[in-house]
Structure 1
Amino acid sequence: MNNNFPKLISINDSGFGCLLTLILLGLFLGSVGLGWVVNGFLILIAFILIAPVIALWGLRWWLKRNLVEDQCPVCSYQFTGFNQGQCQCPNCGEPLKVEGGHFHRITPPGTIDVDAIEVSVRQIED
């Protein structure tokens, strides 16, 4: 005997009854004069579907305008920071300010920033 035969023929109609009930309810409300309820519900569903797409687009636009990727002026470590803000280099810990799309060191007034150069050693014979 094949006990699986009835399972092959049966159709899963669990969602069909609920969908049919919603359609009949919408048609009834529309015929009674409460079509605005159905329209309001459809507008709410459309808003729920469209709002995340618009929010994601807005977030991407905001991030594109406010994220800056540059190198630390002290250790040349490349990382990301927010435009017009202050941050610390994750590599060397130097406090930095983001201006004009680049990182700048935050130094107290009166500090002179010097770039060191390497000088090769030569011996002079007398």
Structure 2
Amino acid sequence: MKYYRFGTFDNGMPNGSGDRWAGVRFWLTTLFIFWAIGAIGLGWIVKSLFILIGLLLALPIAAFIGLQWWATSKILTAECPICSHTFTATKGSQFNCPSCGEPLETHNNQFKRITPPGTIDIDVQVMD
């Protein structure tokens, strides 16, 4: 088994039948790439890496702040109007109280009973 050596003049071909200039082309190409990088400068690569690292560090912080904002705008913590049990629910949804089972909905940042149409909801006050 013959091993091919990268960048040699004979390019690993038997009896010298390979391209004699393959090795020269390799080294000239390599030299040209290093010259081009030197002429352009590597500052843009370093700056790009710093920007990428900065974005990777800022992304979790921005996600945490965004999640907190979403939670405060979409989630409500209040008391049940029937049993005064405090719990959390999503704004604009209908649900049952986990303590008494009363059907409730969110309205004006508080929980409100869901009553069928035509039902009059009253508060009874006991007078002695």
Could you tell me the TM-score, scaled by structure 2's length? 0.59
Q: Aligned with 2:98: secondary structure?
A: coil
Q: Answer with 64-73 or 31-40: which moved more.
A: 31-40
Aligned partners of 1:43, 1:31: CA distance in 2, in Å?
22
Aligned partners of 1:94, 1:31: CA distance in 2, in Å?
74
Among 104, 107, 110, the alignment partner of 1:99 is 107
| Residues 10-62 of structure 1, C-alpha deviations (whole Å, 9 max, x = no match) | xxxxxxxxxxxxxxxxxxx9746354333322222111101111111122122
1:78 maps to 86
Aligned partners of 1:112, 1:71: CA distance in 2, in Å?
21
Alignment of 1:50-65 (within 5 A): 50-65=58-73
- CA-atom RMSD in angstroms: 2.5
Structure 1 portions without partners, runs of 5+: 1-28, 121-126
1:70–1:78 Cα contact (<8 Å) kept: yes
2:29 maps to none
Instruction: Work out which of the two has the higher radius of gyration on C-alpha atoms and give 1 or 2.
Output: 2
1:30–1:38 Cα contact (<8 Å) kept: no
Matched, 1:109 2:113: no
Alignment identity in percent? Answer: 43
Could you tell me the TM-score, scaled by structure 1's length? 0.60
Q: Aligned with 2:58: secondary structure?
A: helix
